[in-house]
Amino acid sequence: MNTYSLPPNAIFKEWAYSNLESPESGIEIYKPRAEFGLTRPRETFIIKRNREFTLSKTDAADRPVRFEGNWRFKEPNKLIVSIKTPKKESLKFQFQLAGNALKIKRILTN
Amino acid sequence: MASKDSDAPSSREVKEMRRKVREGPKCGTPVPNKWMRQVTKKARDAQDKTLLKNNRIVSATIKVKFIHITDGTDGKITQDMRQKQIKELNDSFGSHNIKFSYNEEQVVEKKNANWFNMGYGSAAERQAKRKLHADPKKYLNFYTANLEDDLLGWATFPWELGGHPDMDGVVILYSTLPGGGAAPYDEGATGTHEIGHWLGLYHTFQDGCPPSEGDEVADTQPHRAPDYDCDSNTACGSGSSPVENFMNYTEDACMTKFTKGQAVRAKEMITIYRNQLFRSK
């Protein structure tokens, strides 16, 4: 039987963009989607235990676009997601759970 | 009605511009891709070459067709709410000589529980729009419904009109109209924001900081991400992000203005893509 390393349980939920930690840090703070209630569009993603990953955004006229992919965990704190967005980003980020927030720093690859 | 500068372009020039609009994309264009950028750049170039300069609409009154989809219980919009929405639009765009009107007798209310809960790109959206739309060359179709995906609204861009005329317009969460109860988004700014897109405006945070092309408007402060409240600041470098701008993502109470550059761009877009709004009787 294969064994995989897994991220912390608390990461498995729907996260919504909250704010930038600071302009210089490049760190984006996400919070559980449910915390926002009614809001203007926010980038959200769902990380599932079964390695599915769903990224949801809105386009330049507020229309939703959704991308499906799969994630892979690299210890201690990297998540590598195998979907390609229109901007040719491979989603790859370092994360840190801080209370009820998820801090992520994207690693851009082309 | 629209008033225009004199010295209109030749009919050949106008015909050529219309041909380019008519032969626009036939499929969905979800982000401001290269094609969109080229088209809008063409508008600015055309202005430099006097086509727009001589024909630009300097003032306009846009006729709004309200189409309210309900489930029989929720989604009903009162005359008072419509009037306040139009007032909000005129307060927002009016200082730039873009005005809005509607005819109460032409308001459509349609009961259809399936259409009421429409999502973007869904069969419900397509069916509802095909059945209920007014001629998009003459009217701004302003749909209200209960939207999937927790959305407050969405819009179509003017350069999509040629390829998808039946889909043209704005779709707004019914409770965001003034007094609709979707606080803090119930003062009508969602309608204003989506109509901004319908007139060709991008978000002020489009594509983030320079050297990206941003929102293609020179007098809006570029910023790296949306602002969601009045105290936010995501400005690129020094300064403040435009939390008061209708094309940001702040709460209704924060949103109070369009810039002069945004109004110029909107009028260019009307001139190129939506000039028939003012030719109807």
Going from the N-terminus, what domains does chain A have, and what CATH number goes with each? Answer: 9-106 (2.40.128.300)
Residue A56 contacts B, CB cutoff 8 Å: yes
Residue B234 contacts A, CB cutoff 8 Å: yes
Catalytic annotation present for B194 = yes
Closest Cα in chain B, distance from residue A108 (Å) = 15
Higher pLDDT, B28 or B11: B11
Contact B194 A62 (CB under 8 A): yes
Among the partner residues B31, B119, B234, nearest to A86 by beta-carbon distance = B31
Q: Say how far apart CA B135 and CA A78 lie, in whole Å.
A: 52
Instruction: Return the residue of A nearest to B32 by Cα.
Output: A60
Beta pairing partners, A84: A90
Contact B154 A61 (CB under 8 A): yes
pLDDT of residue B244: 98
Q: What is the pLDDT of residues B132-188, one digit of tens each?
A: 999 999 999 999 999 998 999 999 999 999 999 999 999 999 999 999 999 999 999
Residues 6+ apart with CB under 8 A from B143: B67, B68, B69, B128, B129, B132, B169, B170, B171, B172
User: Residue B231 burial by CB count (10 A; 0-12/13-18/19+): exposed, middle or buried?
Assistant: exposed
Write out chain B residues lying below 8 Å of A54, CB-based: none
Count of C-beta atoms within a 10 Å radius of residue B92: 23
Assembly ipTM: 0.87
Instruction: Tell me the pairing of strands B170-173 and B98-102.
Output: unpaired
Q: Say how far apart CA B119 and CA B74 lie, in whole Å.
A: 17
CATH 3.30.420.10 for domain B57-200+258-278 = no
Closest Cα in chain B, distance from residue A66 (Å) = 11
Q: What is the pLDDT of residues A88-110, one digit of tens each?
A: 666 788 888 888 899 988 876 54
Residue B226 contacts A, CB cutoff 8 Å: yes
The chain-wide mean pLDDT, for chain B, equals 86
List of long-range contacts for B45-50, beta carbons under 8 Å, 24+ apart: B46/B17, B46/B272, B47/B268, B50/B9
Q: For chain B, what are the domain ranges?
A: 57-200+258-278
Q: Say how far apart CA A76 and CA A88 lie, in whole Å.
A: 26
pLDDT of residue A75: 85
Instruction: Return the residue of B nearest to A28 by Cα.
Output: B225
Residue A25 contacts B, CB cutoff 8 Å: no
Residue B32 contacts A, CB cutoff 8 Å: yes
Tell how many helices (H) and how many strands (E) occur in chain B. 8, 7
Q: What is the pLDDT of residues B80-125, one digit of tens each?
A: 999 999 999 999 999 999 999 999 999 999 999 999 999 999 999 9
